[in-house]
Homo-oligomer: A and B are copies of this chain.
Amino acid sequence: MEFMRITSAANPSIKLAKNLAQHSRAARKEGLSLAEGIHLARELLSHPELVRKVFLREGAEKNFEISEILQKYLSLKISVVQLPSQIYASISPVDTSAGIVCEIRIPEEGKIKKDEDWIYLDGVQDPGNVGTILRSALASGVTNIALSPQCAYVWSPKVLRAAMGAHFFCNIISSVELAEIKEKTGAVCLVADARGGKDLYEEKWGKGQTLWVFGSEGLGVSEKALELSDLTLLIPLDSRVESLNVATAASVCLFEQRRRRLSGIAHK
Protein backbone atom coordinates (compact mmCIF):
# COMPACT_ATOMS: atom_id res chain seq x y z
CA MET A 1 0.00 0.00 0.00
CA GLU A 2 1.12 3.54 -0.76
CA PHE A 3 0.61 6.18 1.90
CA MET A 4 1.21 9.89 2.02
CA ARG A 5 3.70 10.72 4.72
CA ILE A 6 3.99 13.82 6.90
CA THR A 7 6.96 14.19 9.22
CA SER A 8 6.67 17.82 10.28
CA ALA A 9 4.57 18.95 13.23
CA ALA A 10 4.32 22.33 11.49
CA ASN A 11 2.34 20.90 8.56
CA PRO A 12 -1.08 22.63 8.43
CA SER A 13 -2.98 19.28 8.38
CA ILE A 14 -1.22 18.26 11.58
CA LYS A 15 -1.81 21.62 13.25
CA LEU A 16 -5.51 21.37 12.44
CA ALA A 17 -5.82 17.77 13.67
CA LYS A 18 -3.94 18.62 16.87
CA ASN A 19 -6.34 21.48 17.51
CA LEU A 20 -9.32 19.17 16.96
CA ALA A 21 -7.83 16.56 19.32
CA GLN A 22 -7.20 19.01 22.12
CA HIS A 23 -10.06 21.51 22.05
CA SER A 24 -13.65 20.39 21.73
CA ARG A 25 -14.56 23.95 20.76
CA ALA A 26 -12.39 23.57 17.67
CA ALA A 27 -14.59 20.73 16.39
CA ARG A 28 -17.70 22.91 16.59
CA LYS A 29 -15.95 25.87 15.00
CA GLU A 30 -14.30 23.99 12.13
CA GLY A 31 -17.18 21.58 11.47
CA LEU A 32 -14.61 18.79 11.67
CA SER A 33 -13.79 16.09 14.19
CA LEU A 34 -11.62 13.04 14.81
CA ALA A 35 -12.86 9.46 15.10
CA GLU A 36 -10.26 7.30 16.79
CA GLY A 37 -9.90 3.54 16.67
CA ILE A 38 -10.55 0.47 14.55
CA HIS A 39 -14.25 0.23 15.33
CA LEU A 40 -15.04 3.77 14.19
CA ALA A 41 -12.76 3.52 11.13
CA ARG A 42 -14.71 0.42 10.09
CA GLU A 43 -18.12 2.03 10.74
CA LEU A 44 -17.09 5.05 8.69
CA LEU A 45 -16.48 2.87 5.63
CA SER A 46 -20.28 2.96 5.32
CA HIS A 47 -20.18 6.77 5.37
CA PRO A 48 -17.17 7.59 3.18
CA GLU A 49 -18.63 11.00 2.28
CA LEU A 50 -17.86 12.06 5.88
CA VAL A 51 -14.19 11.03 5.86
CA ARG A 52 -11.68 13.70 4.81
CA LYS A 53 -8.54 11.69 5.50
CA VAL A 54 -7.20 8.85 7.58
CA PHE A 55 -4.21 9.27 9.89
CA LEU A 56 -2.10 6.21 10.53
CA ARG A 57 0.64 5.68 13.11
CA GLU A 58 3.76 4.32 11.41
CA GLY A 59 3.70 0.54 11.81
CA ALA A 60 -0.01 0.26 12.70
CA GLU A 61 -0.64 -1.03 9.15
CA LYS A 62 0.91 -4.32 10.29
CA ASN A 63 -2.29 -4.94 12.26
CA PHE A 64 -4.42 -7.14 10.01
CA GLU A 65 -7.72 -5.39 10.73
CA ILE A 66 -6.20 -1.96 10.16
CA SER A 67 -4.56 -3.07 6.94
CA GLU A 68 -7.91 -4.34 5.60
CA ILE A 69 -9.60 -1.05 6.49
CA LEU A 70 -6.83 1.01 4.86
CA GLN A 71 -7.14 -0.89 1.60
CA LYS A 72 -10.82 -0.04 1.47
CA TYR A 73 -10.17 3.65 2.14
CA LEU A 74 -7.51 3.73 -0.57
CA SER A 75 -9.90 2.11 -3.04
CA LEU A 76 -12.40 4.85 -2.16
CA LYS A 77 -9.69 7.42 -3.09
CA ILE A 78 -9.55 8.71 0.49
CA SER A 79 -6.00 9.63 1.43
CA VAL A 80 -4.18 7.80 4.18
CA VAL A 81 -1.49 9.84 5.92
CA GLN A 82 1.24 7.98 7.74
CA LEU A 83 2.80 9.74 10.74
CA PRO A 84 5.84 9.06 12.92
CA SER A 85 4.55 7.89 16.32
CA GLN A 86 5.44 11.12 18.14
CA ILE A 87 3.44 13.23 15.70
CA TYR A 88 0.62 10.68 15.71
CA ALA A 89 0.48 10.92 19.51
CA SER A 90 -0.04 14.70 19.26
CA ILE A 91 -3.14 14.32 17.06
CA SER A 92 -4.66 11.27 18.78
CA PRO A 93 -7.60 12.17 21.01
CA VAL A 94 -6.75 9.26 23.36
CA ASP A 95 -3.55 8.18 25.07
CA THR A 96 -3.66 4.54 24.07
CA SER A 97 -4.68 4.52 20.44
CA ALA A 98 -4.83 1.56 18.08
CA GLY A 99 -2.97 3.73 15.55
CA ILE A 100 -5.79 4.90 13.27
CA VAL A 101 -7.79 8.16 13.37
CA CYS A 102 -10.27 9.38 10.75
CA GLU A 103 -10.72 13.10 10.26
CA ILE A 104 -14.41 13.61 9.53
CA ARG A 105 -16.81 16.31 8.41
CA ILE A 106 -19.51 16.87 11.02
CA PRO A 107 -22.90 16.27 9.35
CA GLU A 108 -25.61 18.93 9.33
CA GLU A 109 -27.88 19.31 12.35
CA GLY A 110 -30.66 16.74 12.53
CA LYS A 111 -34.36 17.47 12.07
CA ILE A 112 -37.20 17.47 14.55
CA LYS A 113 -39.40 14.50 13.61
CA LYS A 114 -42.87 13.78 14.94
CA ASP A 115 -44.19 10.31 15.81
CA GLU A 116 -40.82 8.98 16.96
CA ASP A 117 -39.12 8.50 20.32
CA TRP A 118 -36.66 11.15 21.50
CA ILE A 119 -34.00 11.68 24.13
CA TYR A 120 -33.02 15.10 25.46
CA LEU A 121 -29.78 15.59 27.38
CA ASP A 122 -30.06 18.51 29.78
CA GLY A 123 -26.54 19.69 30.67
CA VAL A 124 -24.70 16.35 30.54
CA GLN A 125 -21.11 17.58 30.58
CA ASP A 126 -18.89 14.52 30.59
CA PRO A 127 -18.09 13.44 27.01
CA GLY A 128 -17.88 9.78 28.08
CA ASN A 129 -21.41 9.99 29.51
CA VAL A 130 -22.84 11.68 26.39
CA GLY A 131 -21.24 9.03 24.17
CA THR A 132 -22.34 6.12 26.34
CA ILE A 133 -25.91 7.45 26.31
CA LEU A 134 -25.88 7.64 22.49
CA ARG A 135 -24.67 4.03 22.30
CA SER A 136 -27.34 2.86 24.77
CA ALA A 137 -30.05 4.92 23.06
CA LEU A 138 -29.41 3.31 19.69
CA ALA A 139 -29.10 -0.13 21.32
CA SER A 140 -32.52 0.43 22.86
CA GLY A 141 -33.95 1.47 19.50
CA VAL A 142 -34.10 5.25 20.01
CA THR A 143 -32.35 7.24 17.27
CA ASN A 144 -33.41 10.85 17.87
CA ILE A 145 -31.12 12.72 20.25
CA ALA A 146 -31.25 16.39 21.17
CA LEU A 147 -28.88 18.18 23.54
CA SER A 148 -29.00 21.40 25.53
CA PRO A 149 -26.35 24.06 24.79
CA GLN A 150 -24.69 23.19 28.15
CA CYS A 151 -23.87 19.60 27.16
CA ALA A 152 -20.46 18.35 26.03
CA TYR A 153 -20.29 18.89 22.26
CA VAL A 154 -21.81 15.75 20.81
CA TRP A 155 -19.45 15.59 17.81
CA SER A 156 -16.26 16.05 19.84
CA PRO A 157 -13.64 13.30 19.50
CA LYS A 158 -14.24 11.92 23.02
CA VAL A 159 -18.00 11.67 22.55
CA LEU A 160 -17.48 9.98 19.16
CA ARG A 161 -15.20 7.42 20.74
CA ALA A 162 -17.50 6.58 23.66
CA ALA A 163 -20.53 6.23 21.35
CA MET A 164 -18.76 3.57 19.25
CA GLY A 165 -20.36 4.62 15.98
CA ALA A 166 -23.90 5.28 17.23
CA HIS A 167 -23.67 8.83 15.82
CA PHE A 168 -23.84 7.52 12.27
CA PHE A 169 -27.24 5.91 12.78
CA CYS A 170 -28.80 8.73 14.78
CA ASN A 171 -30.64 11.98 14.07
CA ILE A 172 -28.75 14.44 16.28
CA ILE A 173 -29.54 18.04 17.18
CA SER A 174 -26.53 19.36 19.03
CA SER A 175 -27.89 22.51 20.67
CA VAL A 176 -31.57 23.19 21.22
CA GLU A 177 -34.03 24.01 24.00
CA LEU A 178 -36.25 21.28 25.46
CA ALA A 179 -39.36 23.43 25.01
CA GLU A 180 -38.88 23.46 21.24
CA ILE A 181 -38.38 19.69 21.02
CA LYS A 182 -41.40 19.01 23.20
CA GLU A 183 -43.65 21.40 21.30
CA LYS A 184 -42.67 20.21 17.84
CA THR A 185 -42.60 16.46 18.52
CA GLY A 186 -45.71 16.29 20.68
CA ALA A 187 -44.08 13.41 22.58
CA VAL A 188 -44.82 12.67 26.25
CA CYS A 189 -42.02 14.25 28.27
CA LEU A 190 -40.59 11.76 30.80
CA VAL A 191 -38.03 13.22 33.18
CA ALA A 192 -35.67 10.97 35.15
CA ASP A 193 -34.98 12.51 38.54
CA ALA A 194 -33.03 10.86 41.36
CA ARG A 195 -34.52 13.30 43.86
CA GLY A 196 -38.06 11.99 43.55
CA GLY A 197 -40.84 10.93 41.22
CA LYS A 198 -43.07 7.99 40.39
CA ASP A 199 -41.60 4.47 40.39
CA LEU A 200 -40.14 3.63 36.96
CA TYR A 201 -41.36 0.04 37.20
CA GLU A 202 -44.78 0.54 38.78
CA GLU A 203 -45.99 3.52 36.82
CA LYS A 204 -47.86 3.23 33.53
CA TRP A 205 -46.01 5.05 30.78
CA GLY A 206 -44.64 4.47 27.31
CA LYS A 207 -47.86 4.02 25.36
CA GLY A 208 -47.20 6.69 22.76
CA GLN A 209 -43.89 8.12 21.64
CA THR A 210 -41.71 9.41 24.45
CA LEU A 211 -39.24 12.22 25.00
CA TRP A 212 -36.89 11.13 27.83
CA VAL A 213 -34.93 13.84 29.65
CA PHE A 214 -31.69 13.10 31.53
CA GLY A 215 -29.90 15.77 33.56
CA SER A 216 -26.38 16.80 34.46
CA GLU A 217 -23.92 14.78 36.54
CA GLY A 218 -23.89 16.99 39.61
CA LEU A 219 -27.22 18.77 39.62
CA GLY A 220 -29.65 16.49 37.77
CA VAL A 221 -32.31 17.97 35.51
CA SER A 222 -32.93 21.72 35.42
CA GLU A 223 -35.95 23.53 36.84
CA LYS A 224 -37.00 24.29 33.26
CA ALA A 225 -37.09 20.56 32.46
CA LEU A 226 -39.14 19.81 35.57
CA GLU A 227 -41.67 22.44 34.47
CA LEU A 228 -41.99 20.81 31.04
CA SER A 229 -42.23 17.29 32.49
CA ASP A 230 -45.41 15.28 31.91
CA LEU A 231 -44.22 12.56 34.28
CA THR A 232 -41.20 12.53 36.59
CA LEU A 233 -39.80 9.06 37.14
CA LEU A 234 -37.46 7.62 39.75
CA ILE A 235 -35.43 4.43 39.51
CA PRO A 236 -36.08 2.66 42.83
CA LEU A 237 -32.57 2.42 44.34
CA ASP A 238 -31.30 0.69 47.43
CA SER A 239 -31.35 3.30 50.20
CA ARG A 240 -27.56 3.16 50.63
CA VAL A 241 -27.06 4.79 47.22
CA GLU A 242 -28.01 8.39 46.41
CA SER A 243 -28.01 8.15 42.65
CA LEU A 244 -26.65 6.32 39.62
CA ASN A 245 -24.18 7.65 37.11
CA VAL A 246 -26.26 9.53 34.50
CA ALA A 247 -25.30 7.21 31.64
CA THR A 248 -26.25 4.20 33.77
CA ALA A 249 -29.55 5.76 34.81
CA ALA A 250 -30.38 6.62 31.20
CA SER A 251 -29.63 3.06 30.11
CA VAL A 252 -31.81 1.56 32.85
CA CYS A 253 -34.74 3.80 31.79
CA LEU A 254 -34.26 3.23 28.05
CA PHE A 255 -34.07 -0.54 28.46
CA GLU A 256 -37.17 -0.57 30.66
CA GLN A 257 -38.83 1.21 27.71
CA ARG A 258 -37.38 -1.41 25.34
CA ARG A 259 -38.65 -4.24 27.54
CA ARG A 260 -42.15 -2.77 27.49
CA ARG A 261 -42.08 -2.23 23.74
CA LEU A 262 -40.73 -5.71 22.98
CA SER A 263 -43.23 -7.46 25.22
CA GLY A 264 -46.06 -5.43 23.72
CA ILE A 265 -46.89 -3.87 27.07
CA ALA A 266 -47.86 -0.36 26.08
CA HIS A 267 -47.95 0.58 29.72
CA LYS A 268 -46.77 -1.43 32.72
Contact = CB atoms under 8 A, between A and B. Distances in A.
B138 A245 contact: no
A140 B237 CA distance: 6
A258 B244 contact: no
Contact of A248 (B251, B258, B259): B251
B139 A241 contact: yes
A201 B262 contact: yes
Determine how many copies of this chain the complex contains. Answer: 2
A140 B238 contact: yes
B262 A236 contact: yes
Contact of A240 (B169, B247, B262, B263): B169
Interface string A123-167: 000001000100110111100000000000000000000001010
A34 interface: no
Contacts of A164: 241-242
B132 A263 contact: no
Contact of A141 (B238, B244, B248, B256): B238
Contacts of A262: 201, 236
A70 to B, nearest CB: 21
Contacts of A236: 258, 262
Contacts of A251: 244, 248, 251-252
Interface in A99-138: 128, 132, 135-136, 138
A234 interface: no
Nearest to A247: B248
A132 B201 CA distance: 22
A196 to B, nearest CB: 16
Contacts of A140: 237-238
Contact of A135 (B132, B141, B169, B244): B244
5 contacts: A135-B244, A135-B248, A140-B238, A252-B255, A255-B255
Interface of A: 128, 132, 135-136, 138-141, 164, 166, 169, 201-202, 235-238, 240-242, 244-245, 247-248, 251-252, 255-256, 258-259, 262-263
Given A244-B251, A247-B248, A256-B259, 16 more contacts: A128-B128, A135-B244, A135-B245, A135-B248, A136-B248, A138-B241, A139-B235, A139-B244, A166-B240, A166-B241, A169-B240, A201-B259, A235-B255, A236-B258, A236-B262, A251-B252
